[in-house]
Structure 1
Amino acid sequence: MTSPHGDHIWYELLTPDADAAQAFYGPMLGWSFRDAGMPGVDYRIFASPEADIGGLMPAGEGMPAAWLGYVGVDDVDAMAKSVTDGGGAVHMPPADIPGVGRFALVADPAGAVFYVMAPTLPEDAPDAQSLSFSYDRPRVGHCAWNELMTPDPDAALAFYGQRFGWVKDGEMEMGPLGIYTFLRHGAKGMMGAVMPMMPDTPLPAWSHYFRVADIDAAYAHVTAQGGRVVEEPTEIPGGAFSMKGIDPQGVAFALVGARRQEG
C-alpha cells in the first residue's frame, strides 16, 4: 500500500478463543469476517463495509493475548535495527508473508509492543492506501485513536518521532495524572496521544480505540456478552465519548463513539 511511512496500516487481535472473539466484536463494530487463506494458520480478516481493518488469530503458546497495531515503514530491516539502536527490542525478527509483506514485532525502550510492516502492493490496486486508521473522517468500525501509556512520555516522543515522523501537537492537563500529549503524523493529521502510566497499569502499552456508532449501545453489548467495562464512557474533546473494557476472553480493548440522544 502507498500509505506513508509512519501510518498505522493494520490492527491485530491475538486471543485465547477466536470464535468467541469474533462473536463479541463483530456485532459491536459492524465487522464481517473471512478466512485469510493462510495454510495452516487460523487467521481471520475483519472488515467494515468500506475496507479491511485488521486480523484476528488464536494466541500461540507464549504469546500474550492483546490488541496490537502495525506501523507501515519503507524498510522493515532498517527499522528493526533502528529500534534496537534506540534502546528498543525485536521480539520477532523481520520475516516475509508471501503476498502480504515483510514485518517484524518490536518494542519501544519502555517495552510497549507493536509491529512494523512494509506491505506488498496489490497488483490490481498499486495506489491503494490503508483505511484501518481513519484520518480523514469518522468511520464506524475503523480505528480512531492510538494512545500510548508509558513511564517516560518525553522519551517516547523522541523515540517514535525520530523513526516515524510523529510530532507533538498540543497537550492537555490531567491534574495529578500528568499531561496528555497529542500526536500528529505530518499533513495526515492527528493520530493519537502519549500519556504517563496510570497507577493500576501493569505494563507500558498501546491502546487502539475503535469507533462505534453508539457508545451506550456498545456499553450494553459489552456487559451483556460477559465483558467488563473498566473505564466508563467519558466525554472527550469534540463531543464523542471514550470507553475501555476487558473482553470476555480477558483482552483489554478501547472504544470511541457518539452518545445518541433520545427524543
Structure 2
Amino acid sequence: MSYHGNPCWYELTTTQGKLADAGAFYAKVLGWNVADSGMEGFEYHLAKSDGDVVAGLMNMPDDVSGMPPCWMVYFAVDDIDQFVTDATKAGAQVHHDVTEIPGTGRFAIFADPQGAAFGVLEPAPMTPSAEGQAFDQQKAGHGNWHELMSGDPEAGFTFYSGLFGWTKGDAMDMGEMGTYQLFRRDGKDIGGMMGLGESPVPFWLPYFGVDGSVAAKVDEIKAAGGNVLHGPIEVPGPAYIAVAQDPQGAAFAVVGPEK
C-alpha cells in the first residue's frame, strides 16, 4: 500500500539551549511524554502520545542559529530520489539533501516555489511512520490538520497536487482573507490552503488534536508561557480551533470538539 502524500511526521526546531523547556511546554499542553531518542552524537527528543511516537524536537542547528523556532511538517513519499527530481522541476528548492536515518528511512527538506518549507520522508520498510501514527484525526495529541499560508495558494495547490496527488475539497469564502481551499488525500480532508493573512512569511502550520474544550486549552497554553494569536473560534465540522506560539515563538494550532 502506498502512503505517498500522507502527513507522517512533525518536527520542532527550537532555540538552542531551550530543548528541554520546549518539551516541558508541549508535555503540559498536549499531554506528550517527551524523552531523548538516544541518537548518538545528536540531541533529538521524541514525543509520544498514548504510546504513539508523534513528533520530534531538536535544537536549532549552528548554521541557521538565527532562524526563528518553527514546526516542520513531513509528508511520506514512495521514492525520494524521484521526488527530488520532480519537486525541483516544479520550482522547489532543496534546503537539506536526501539523508538516511538508520531504521527510519530517508528524508529531505524543501521550500516550495512560494517559499514555504516542508519535509518528505521515504520510510524504511516495515516502519509505521508513513501510516499515520503521528497523523491521526481521531486521537488527541496527534497531528490533525495542516494549513498552508502562501503568497499564491492557487499555485501552491497546483504544486502539491502535482507531487502528492491531493485533490480539492470544499472552498470557503473568507471575505478580505480570500478563499480557504481544503485539500484531500484518498477522499479525506487533511488540510487547507489560504493567503498569507497576517503571516509575514509562507509556512505550513500544524494543528494538533485536543480532547474537550479549546478555551480551556487556550488557558493552559497561556499558563505554560505560550502566546495565543487567534481563537478559540468555531470552524466547519463543527470544531473549534486556536492558533498559538510556544514560549520560544514556534507557531502551532490546536483543534477540538468543544469551545
- Under TM normalisation by the shorter chain, which class is it? over 0.9
Is the 2:239–2:257 contact (alpha carbons within 8 Å) kept by the matching residues of 1?
Answer: yes
1:114 equivalenced with 2:118 (yes/no): yes
Q: Give the Cα separation in 2 of the matches to 1:74 and 1:172.
A: 32
- In structure 2, list runs of 5 or more residues that go unmatched: none
Task: Give the RMSD, CA atoms, in angstroms.
Answer: 1.7
Match of 2:152 in 1: 152
Cα-to-partner distance string for 1:190-240 (whole Å, 9 max, x where unaligned)? 110111111x31110000100112312211111112211111211011222
Please state whether the residue corresponding to 2:191 is helix, strand or coil. Answer: strand
Match of 2:26 in 1: 25
- In structure 1, list runs of 5 or more residues that go unmatched: none
Match of 1:212 in 2: 210
* TM-score (norm: length of structure 1): 0.91
Structure 1 residue 33: deviation in Å?
1.7
Pair 247,126 (structure 1): closer, same or farther in 2 beyond 3 Å: closer
- Letter of the aligned partner of 2:238 in structure 1? G
Structure 1 residue 176: deviation in Å?
1.1
Match of 1:163 in 2: 163
Is the 2:241–2:255 contact (alpha carbons within 8 Å) kept by the matching residues of 1?
Answer: yes
Match of 1:248 in 2: 247
Structure 1 residue 35: deviation in Å?
2.0
Please state whether the residue corresponding to 1:159 is helix, strand or coil. Answer: helix
Match of 1:172 in 2: 172
1:79 aligned to 76, 83, 86, which one? 83
Structure 1 residue 25: deviation in Å?
0.6
Q: Larger deviation: 59-68 or 171-180?
A: 59-68
Match of 2:139 in 1: 139
Please state whether the residue corresponding to 1:133 is helix, strand or coil. Answer: coil
- Letter of the aligned partner of 1:9 in structure 2? C
Structure 1 residue 81: deviation in Å?
1.7
Percent of aligned pairs sharing the same letter: 40
Match of 2:228 in 1: 229
Pair 93,128 (structure 1): closer, same or farther in 2 beyond 3 Å: closer
Cα-to-partner distance string for 1:99-120 (whole Å, 9 max, x where unaligned)? 1111101111001001111011
* TM-score (norm: length of structure 2): 0.93
Structure 1 residue 253: deviation in Å?
1.3
Structure 1 residue 77: deviation in Å?
1.5
Structure 1 residue 126: deviation in Å?
7.5
After TM superposition, the runs of 4+ consecutive aligned structure 1 residues lying more than 6 A away are 125-128
- Letter of the aligned partner of 1:190 in structure 2? D
Q: Give the Cα separation in 2 of the matches to 1:45 and 1:145.
A: 20
Structure 1 residue 57: deviation in Å?
0.9
Is the 1:182–1:190 contact (alpha carbons within 8 Å) kept by the matching residues of 2?
Answer: yes
Structure 1 residue 34: deviation in Å?
2.5
Is the 1:107–1:113 contact (alpha carbons within 8 Å) kept by the matching residues of 2?
Answer: yes
Q: Give the Cα separation in 2 of the matches to 1:96 and 1:238.
A: 39
- 1:32-111 equivalence runs, <5 A: 32-61=33-62, 62=64, 64=67, 65-111=69-115
